[in-house]
Amino acid sequence: MLLQQIINGIVVGSVYSLTAMGATLVYSILRILDIACAGAYALGAYVGLFSYVATGNLLLSFLIGMIAMGVWGIFVQKFLYLPLLGKSPLISLITSIGLFIFLGDFIRLWAGPQIKAFPADLKLPFSGIRTENLTIMGVWILVLLTTAILLFILWYLITKTKIGLAWRATAQDLEIAKAMGINVNVVVAFNFFLGYSFAAAAGIMIGIMYNFISPTMGDVPAYKMLAIIVLGGLGNPVGAVVAAMLIGLIETLVGGYIGFFLPRDSIAFIVVIIMLLIKPQGLFVRKNI
Amino acid sequence: MAILKVENLKKFFGGVRAVNGVSVEVERGEVLGVIGPNGAGKTTFFNTICGVYNPDGGKIIFQDKKIQGLTPFQIARLGIARTFQIVKPFGDMTVLDNVISAIGINRYKSIWGSFRNSRVSETVDKAKRLLEMVELGEYGKEKAGALSLGYIKRLEIARALGINPKIIMLDEPCAGLSHDAVKDFIQLFKKLKKEGLTIMMVEHNMPIAMALSDRMIVLDYGEKIAEGKPKEIQGNEKVIEAYLGKEEEEDA
Amino acid sequence: MYEVVVAVNIGIFIMLALSVNIITGYIGQPTLGHAAFFGIGAYTSAILTGKYSVPFLLSLPLSGLVAGFIGALLGLASLRVRDDFLAITTIGTNFVVVAIFQYIPFFGASLGMAVPSAYIFGIKITYLGYLFLVIFLIISIILFLRKLEKSWFGLAMGGIRNNEGAAESIGIDIKKFKVIAFILGTAIAGIAGCVYAHYMTFISSVDFAFVTSITILSMAMVGGSGTIRGPIMGAIVLGLAPEVFRFAMNYRMLIYGALLVFTMRFQPEGLLGERSFLWTNINKLFKKIYSKKEIESGM
């Protein structure tokens, strides 16, 4: 039973880590708390769904959804966030919240307020594993595998490539990176493309896993992801993944075993508040201080 | 009569001994220059005296009162004012308000007192006089953040004077200033000296430091390697070596 | 009659926007969960008058006190937790407070809580009565804020908002002023909550969720952070918008989101902020009219 819950928790945590990665990456470079990232999460799910209905190909749908949101990310940073750099953090926060509200309503007006689901004949590449003690659904394997692949790609890009090096320099100090001749605009665009495409992937996977998507599906993740990235140490991608897994596990275990008397979704915030009072810098201090 | 006595002051950051046992006495009314190569610990030394950092050892005695361990605002209230190497104006407030805010130093003590009107004529006049002194009289209504660097540095001095200090600590007052702005600063400095203020000054610009100081101390790697009148410092071998040695390091 | 209802609602928003502005606009601390204190005030009064028969005139200030007390705790937290971390802590506080109201039976849980009518000296307050009460409270708040702006406290807040290190160097005790600012902002929100509770005669946790916090904050920021006119204008504009744009009801949130984005992007100081397009032009207009009057009277 415990093992089952742990696996549940890891699956939930994996999706959280992809969703939170968008917000983490944005914070690493621009020091902005991007709530609108959850808009890409929701919108990406819809684009993925419509692509699947149109093409019948799951992989293609993933790619279309991710690329569409990646491009949207480039657009958002160029016209919204870059010009707001250096202003008070409240300003970018309100902007990002405004954008998130706009996106949510846009989805409602475009696709309708009802819940939508992936077609029942959705063919997953994996079937589940069922033993007497454990159930591992096929979609979970999809989630774990996709998360692993995407995080690996991220790790590779950031640590082993030239643009990754530029990214790391910009994350440490944007002004100095600029002064050293790094094309910061390209780095920021790259950053948002990655982050938003990951959020889209997470949205699509959630849609498949729980068999519904809705215009408000981004509401809870928007704020929960903030709690997670703070827990992981703002701007620390590794920390974000660990924090996401941690929250996923705690939510599942506490919900499953203890029957918490406060809603599941407030667990992340309670953990964060307690943690911040003990260690105001976050669990993992920013790697590059 | 020493107004400020620093005894064996120490400040460490992890393994780095930024200030490693520095002692000095500052006489009332004198100008003490603090110089040293880059990274010598001059600003850390200042920050520790002003309470921004808690010392890891040693004593700071101001007017016979031990002040090490006090918070910056408590030390300010005792009469130590300072300016900042990287300027910290109250950018969205007017130049006049920047100075008025300092004059109210005693008003901030009580919650009730702090609700009283700050724009009484006595205060405003004093602020205007201080701005005149630093030659910013016409800029009273401008937002502090809109001024150029040289003007902001002068504003910081006016603000620091606003708390009616017994000693004023200037942290690199000439950093980043143009040649003309430095000349203006020297004029202002002479005015300050005439008022009888005790002044401690960190300054990287050697000729300025030598010209304006009555006495100087030289820091290197957190330690005091020389002390004396400017002429004595000029010829001091250890000082020359410290600066030259640093140059060689930088060339390497 | 309907106009009175709308006016009271906007009046309550004005109080809330002015109160959050003390913390964000004056002393520069991010607080994204202000609706929590609105709620604490509302529930406090509901319980005091409902369960303990405390008269309204007494529960009004008590609601402020209770909200202010919890606000002091948040203020203390703000000393330990900085900037972005503080922002998220305030969001978290909002979620936790709402969850407490939503799940704990003492507060009526998800069914909410009925609130008894308010009586002043034995007379039940009517809709019009609430309007007068709200106007009275708003005027009191404005007078208080004007005094605050001109006082040493106001200068201290300005110093802290701009540069804490410099503020300390001129004798400002940052910790003390931050906590007091939080108390003032949250207490006023609590008082607004009390009025709201008795006016609506029914409250539930949903009224005080994070969405409401953002509404309040955006009113202050869209209107003009750090001023008195700003939050008032923001509350009126954002409060009236649903009424004025009734025909576009379906697009309400779309327009609201777009408004936030465009205002922050192009007028980050707020529509009536110091250097905003509107305010500088209004000033120019006044100067023109004033100098015309001078010329005319000189003739």
Q: Which of B76, B81, B114 sits opposite C151 (nearest CB)?
A: B114
* Chain B residues touching C274 at Cβ < 8 A: 92
Q: Which residue has the higher pLDDT, C45 or A269?
A: C45
| Nearest chain A CA: its distance from C75 CA (Å) | 13
Report the C-alpha gap between B165 and B161 in whole angstroms: 6
Nearest-CA neighbor of C21 among C191, C199, C221, C279?
Answer: C221
Q: How many CB pairs under 8 A join B and C?
A: 105
Structure tokens at B235: 């010829």
Nearest-CA neighbor of C46 among C32, C29, C60?
Answer: C60
CB–CB contact B76 C165 (8 Å): no
Which residues share a beta bridge with B168? B81, B199
Structure tokens at C186: 């949250």
Report the C-alpha gap between B188 and B173 in whole angstroms: 11
Structure tokens at A216: 């408000």
Lowest mean pLDDT among A9-18, A273-282, C109-118: A273-282
Domain, as residue range, for C282? 273-299
- Residue C202: other Cβ atoms inside 10 A: 13
pLDDT digits (tens, 9 = 90+) for B65-114: 999 999 999 999 999 999 999 999 999 999 999 999 999 999 999 988 89
Report the C-alpha gap between C189 and C212 in whole angstroms: 12
Q: What angle do CA C157, C160, C163 make, to 5 degrees?
A: 145
CA dihedral C264, C268, C269, C271 (to 10 degrees): -50
Cα Rg of chain B, angstroms: 18
CB–CB contact C166 B52 (8 Å): no
**Predicted TM-score of the model (pTM):** 0.91
CB–CB contact B108 C166 (8 Å): no
- Read off the pLDDT of each residue in C230-252 and give the average, rounded to a whole number: 88
CB–CB contact C95 A266 (8 Å): yes
Q: What is the pLDDT of residue A282?
A: 67
Please, what is the end-to-end C-alpha distance for chain C in angstroms?
Answer: 50
Instruction: Note whether B153 contacts C: Cβ–Cβ < 8 A.
Output: no
> For domain A2-278, is the CATH number 3.30.160?
no
Cβ within 8 Å of residue A188, ≥6 positions away: A29, A30, A77, A82, A170
Report the C-alpha gap between A37 and A198 in whole angstroms: 10
Asked if residue C51 and residue C179 are part of one domain, the reply reads yes
C257 pLDDT above the threshold of 50: yes
Q: Which of C162, C172, C176 sits opposite B93 (nearest CB)?
A: C162
Average pLDDT of chain B, as a whole number? 92
Q: What is the pLDDT of residue B56?
A: 94
Asked if residue C277 and residue C262 are part of one domain, the reply reads no
Q: What is the pLDDT of residue B246?
A: 61
Q: What angle do CA B145, B146, B149 make, to 5 degrees?
A: 80
User: Is B173 within 8 Å of B182 (Cβ atoms)?
Assistant: no
C273 pLDDT above the threshold of 80: yes
- Residue B207: other Cβ atoms inside 10 A: 9
Lowest mean pLDDT among A120-134, B103-117, C127-141: A120-134
pLDDT digits (tens, 9 = 90+) for A197-219: 999 999 999 998 888 899 999 98
pLDDT digits (tens, 9 = 90+) for B61-75: 999 999 999 999 999
Asked if residue C296 and residue C210 are part of one domain, the reply reads no
| Nearest chain C CA: its distance from B240 CA (Å) | 34
- Residue recorded with tokens 């609590």: C190
* Chain B residues touching C168 at Cβ < 8 A: 51-52, 71-73, 76
pLDDT digits (tens, 9 = 90+) for A59-73: 899 999 999 999 999
A266 pLDDT above the threshold of 80: no
CB–CB contact B114 C158 (8 Å): no
**Total number of domains constituting chain B:** 1
The nearest alpha carbon in chain A to C85 belongs to A230
User: Is B227 within 8 Å of B214 (Cβ atoms)?
Assistant: no
Report the C-alpha gap between C205 and C197 in whole angstroms: 12
B233 pLDDT above the threshold of 60: yes
The count of residues in chain C is 299
A268 pLDDT above the threshold of 90: no
Task: For C204-239, give one letter per residue: b (16+ CB within 10 A) or e.
Answer: bbebbbbebbbbbbbbbbbbbbbbbbbbbbbbbbbb
**Total number of domains constituting chain C:** 2
CB–CB contact A99 C261 (8 Å): yes
C131 pLDDT above the threshold of 70: yes
Asked if residue C288 and residue C182 are part of one domain, the reply reads no
Q: What is the pLDDT of residue A289?
A: 30
Asked if residue C285 and residue C260 are part of one domain, the reply reads no
| Nearest chain C CA: its distance from A228 CA (Å) | 10
Task: Categorize the per-residue pLDDT at B252 as very low, low, confident or very high, splitting at 50, 70 and 90.
Answer: low
- Read off the pLDDT of each residue in C125-137 and give the average, rounded to a whole number: 93
Q: What angle do CA B81, B85, B88 make, to 5 degrees?
A: 70
- Name all chains with 3 or more CB-CB pairs below 8 Å to chain B: C
Nearest-CA neighbor of C176 among B107, A146, B86, B93?
Answer: B107
CB–CB contact C169 B114 (8 Å): no
Task: Categorize the per-residue pLDDT at A2 as very low, low, confident or very high, splitting at 50, 70 and 90.
Answer: confident
CB–CB contact B108 C161 (8 Å): no
Lowest mean pLDDT among C39-53, C70-84, C160-174, C245-259: C245-259
| Nearest chain C CA: its distance from B81 CA (Å) | 7
pLDDT digits (tens, 9 = 90+) for B239-250: 888 887 766 666
Q: Domain holding B111: CATH number?
A: 3.40.50.300
Asked if residue C299 and residue C245 are part of one domain, the reply reads no
Task: Categorize the per-residue pLDDT at B48 as very low, low, confident or very high, splitting at 50, 70 and 90.
Answer: very high
- Read off the pLDDT of each residue in A257-269 and give the average, rounded to a whole number: 70
Query: What is the maximum alpha-carbon separation in chain B?
Result: 60
Instruction: Note whether C175 contacts A: Cβ–Cβ < 8 A.
Output: no
* Chain C residues touching A221 at Cβ < 8 A: none
Query: For residue A39, what is the enclosing H or E element?
Result: helix A37-55
Asked if residue C103 and residue C158 are part of one domain, the reply reads yes
pLDDT digits (tens, 9 = 90+) for B190-229: 999 988 899 999 998 888 999 999 999 999 999 999 999 9
User: Is C164 within 8 Å of C38 (Cβ atoms)?
Assistant: no
Asked if residue C205 and residue C285 are part of one domain, the reply reads no
Instruction: Kindly tell me the sign of the dihedral angle through the C-alpha atoms of B245, B247, B249, B252.
Output: negative
Asked if residue C121 and residue C257 are part of one domain, the reply reads yes
Domain, as residue range, for B206? 2-251
User: Is C18 within 8 Å of C228 (Cβ atoms)?
Assistant: yes
* Chain A residues touching C248 at Cβ < 8 A: none
The nearest alpha carbon in chain C to B84 belongs to C166
Q: Give DSSP secondary structure letters for B173-189.
A: TTTT--HHHHHHHHHHH
Asked if residue C115 and residue C59 are part of one domain, the reply reads yes
Nearest-CA neighbor of C234 among C7, C16, C38?
Answer: C16
Query: For residue A129, what is the enclosing H or E element?
Result: strand A129-130
User: Is C178 within 8 Å of C70 (Cβ atoms)?
Assistant: no
Cα Rg of chain A, angstroms: 19
A42 pLDDT above the threshold of 60: yes
